[in-house]
Each structure stands twice: as structure tokens, then as C-alpha cells.
Structure 1
Amino acid sequence: MLDVTVIEDPEAAAVSLDPIRSRLLAELAAGPASAAMLAGKVGLPRQKVNYHLKALERHGLVELAGERRKGNVTERLMRATAASYVISPLALASVQPDPDRFRDQLSARWLLALGARLVRDVGTLITGAARAHKRLATYALDGEVRFASPADRAAFIQELTAGVGALIRKYDAPDAEGGRDHRIVVAVHPTVAPQAPDPRADEDRAVEPEDGESRPPQPPPAELTD
């Protein structure tokens, strides 16, 4: 079983988002089970569970893990093909985000578009590497930092931009024969709290303007402010 896999097909995405099928995926990610075993857990007749399992299997979201005899019946034990799933923007190809259409380093929505493109591209690379039976060379760095002040955050952004820019200029070889292009994405955003606050508690708070609405002139990226 894979740790995570990307769903690119629109029909497979629709199947995975069905509440009952999503519950079945969660159960099968925990371990193989038959339709009869799942029926009691999800509160549905075995025949109904079988129907949903066949839909999931048809789209490659579950697979046969084995069979066992139970009386005069042979039960099929199914398992999820991954512990978790990510839906690629390719599943909504006609309306997928395009970071090149709107570039704004201070926009959370542009950051979201970059993230969506990252999911799309890496998902496509994973699929291609699996079909070719090759390993995919990637690297990711994840960490957290607490800034004492907006000024410190702005200084960090400035140094980060200068440092990454220097590395790009040092190693970029656009004319290298046999070289391969790589995309670099660096993001800085507030850490999401474990639990979302009660929306009613925020009714009297000031709300930042949405992207596209009127807002004060933005400072350059190295001078982020609260």
C-alpha cells in the first residue's frame, strides 16, 4: 500500500468524494476486509457495500488483497491502494488554478495556486515514474519558525529571497546538454491552528480584504507587514 497517491481522473475523484465510499476507503486503509465485514461497520447491506466496492475497484482506489472461504461462499478481501489520497487539479482541468495568470507574492490565493500546481505536477511525475518503474528524484524541506515581530519576518523574507536567488544563479545552466529543468517553490505562511475557532467569536473582528478587492498599496516582498 502506498502512503499517498494522487487522483487525476475526474470520475475517480467523484467516486472518492462520495461519503459512503470515502468511509469504505478509510476502513480499507486500516486493513483488508470483505463486504460482509464492512457492512456492519458502515450500516449497509452487504450487497450495497459490494456495489460501492466495485465502483472503487473500477477506478483503482481499492484492490483485491486475497480470498477466503466462509461456508459455501468465497469472500473477496479488499484493501485500499493507498493510506491517503490527494485529488489533483487535473480532475478539474478546465478550471484548475494557473499561477502564471496572476502573480502576486503577497497574495494567499497565488500561494494556493502554486500549491495546486505543485500537487498537479508532482502527481503527474509520480504516475509517470510508476509506469516506467523508475524512481523519482525529489526533495522537500519543511519547518516552522516563530518571528518576534513583522520586521523580523520581513528581514527573513529578504535574506531567504537573496539566498535562494544566489543559489539559482550559481547552479543554473540553461545551455547544459542533457540537463533537466527543476521548479523551486518556497512558501512562508502562518501556521494553521490545530482547531479552527468558533466563527461567531470573529464576528466583531476586522476582516482583511479579499484578493481583488480594494486594499492599500502593497510593499515589496521583502517588506511584508501585518
Structure 2
Amino acid sequence: MVIEDPAAAAASLDPLRARLLRELAAPSSAAALAAKVGLPRQKVNYHLRSLEEHGLVALLEERRKGNVMERVLQATAASYIISPAALAVVEPDPEHLRDRFSAYWLLALAARTVREVGRLLAGAVAARKELATYAADGEITFASAASRAAFATELGAEVARLAAKYHEPSAPGARRHRLVVVLHPALRPDAAAAGSEPDQEIQP
């Protein structure tokens, strides 16, 4: 689920509520969650109400347990991504910096991808349709900066050739698609865990 509402984003970022979302991958009640997180049921219930209000958890059933009506809830998604649209005032705009060698432009493109695909996916789910997408992911080890630059040049030329071959804007029923190709240094396994910078030169 891609979160666009700022209030829902804030709710999901709260450490306790994030923990509750993780626990609610499987159906549970406030009482069961309270035992897991070590807090009073009333306090857990308060946080669950907020998550429910923002559409992050949903009520599955209500069942009586003694003198109490127990509410069983579950997270509405297996995972969540916060869209840049949640910070619309400072959302990056790829049109402001078109530089294929800029890491900032790459991030702006990635942010736009999250926003656009998130909205398309929400529409597809609501319409009970599949969303046609394609993605490729892999790693290349270059012998030198020169070989990386040569690869980027060849890749750009090949993408341009394929785009020209299949681009038919006047065809009946034609539909525009977004194409984004990125290349960036890979983090070392230890750096990825620690969040430090990759052991690569900065210049492309």
C-alpha cells in the first residue's frame, strides 16, 4: 500500500504504531497486542483506532469475550510505502533538473515513480484489474570508470533505438507508458546494513 495522506504517513511512522502494523500482518485483538507490546489494552486500542481511521488496519470481526466485545483487526497491506505526495510542498520535481548524471535527478525520478505507480495501483485494485508493469534488477561490476561510461553510452543508444521502434502515439487505443532506466553504485553488504556510503567514487 502506498500512503499519500500526510496524517496516515505520520501515523505509520510512529514507532509503536509501526510495531502494531507489523504485528497485525496476522489478525489480532487489542488485548493480544497489549500482551505482546507490554502496554495497557486501552492505550493499544487508542493507537489501533488511529490506524483504523487512516485505513491502515481494518476490522475483521467483533466477538464477545466475557463481558467485553473484542474487535479483531488486521493490517490492510503486507507492507507500506510512503509516497512523496505525502510531502507535496517539498516533493521533488524531475522537470526542474534534467541531468542524467545527477544522483538528485535519479532520486526525483524514483520519487515520481513511487507516486505515479502508487496511484495507478490503487486504481487498479479498486477496479479489480491487473496493472501492466515491468521491472528489471541486477548488478554489473565494471573494470573501470571508462567501461562504466561506455556502458551508459551504449545503453542510452539502445534504449533510444527501442523507444523509436515501438513509439506509436497515433495508433488506435495507444496508451503512454513511463520508461525509467537507472544505474548507480551498489552498497557493500556491510554498508547497506549500517547505512553508510558505498565504496565507490562519486563522479559517474
Provide TM-score, normalisation by structure 1. Answer: 0.82
Distance 1:53-1:198 versus aligned 2 partners, 3 A rule: closer
Provide TM-score, normalisation by structure 2. Answer: 0.90
Query: Which of 58, 61, 64 is residue 66 of structure 1 equivalent to?
Result: 61
Paired residues for 1:30-179 under 5 Å: 31-179=26-174
**Where does structure 1 differ by over 4 angstroms across 4 or more consecutive aligned residues?**
none
Q: Number of matched residues? A: 201
> What CA deviation, in whole Å up to 9, does each residue of 1:42-80 have, x standing for no partner?
221100100100110111101123344433323212111
Name the CA distance, whole Å, in 1 between partners of 2:187 and 2:76. 29
Name the CA distance, whole Å, in 2 between partners of 1:10 and 1:104. 30
What is the aligned partner in structure 2 of residue 221 from structure 1?
none
What is the aligned partner in structure 2 of residue 28 from structure 1?
24
Name the CA distance, whole Å, in 2 between partners of 1:197 and 1:85. 20
Query: Highest relative contact order (Cα 8 Å, sep 6+), 1 or 2?
Result: 1
- Tell me the secondary structure at the aligned position of residue 111 of structure 1: helix
- Tell me the secondary structure at the aligned position of residue 2 of structure 2: strand
Name the CA distance, whole Å, in 1 between partners of 2:159 and 2:147. 18
Q: How far did 1:196 drift?
A: 3.1
Give me the CA root mean square deviation.
2.3
> What CA deviation, in whole Å up to 9, does each residue of 1:90-141 have, x standing for no partner?
1111211100011111111110000000000000101111222222111111
Name the CA distance, whole Å, in 1 between partners of 2:83 and 2:193. 30
Q: Structure 1 residue 189 and structure 2 residue 163: aligned?
A: no
Return the structure number with greater helix share.
2
What is the aligned partner in structure 2 of residue 220 from structure 1?
none
Unaligned runs of 5+ in 2: none
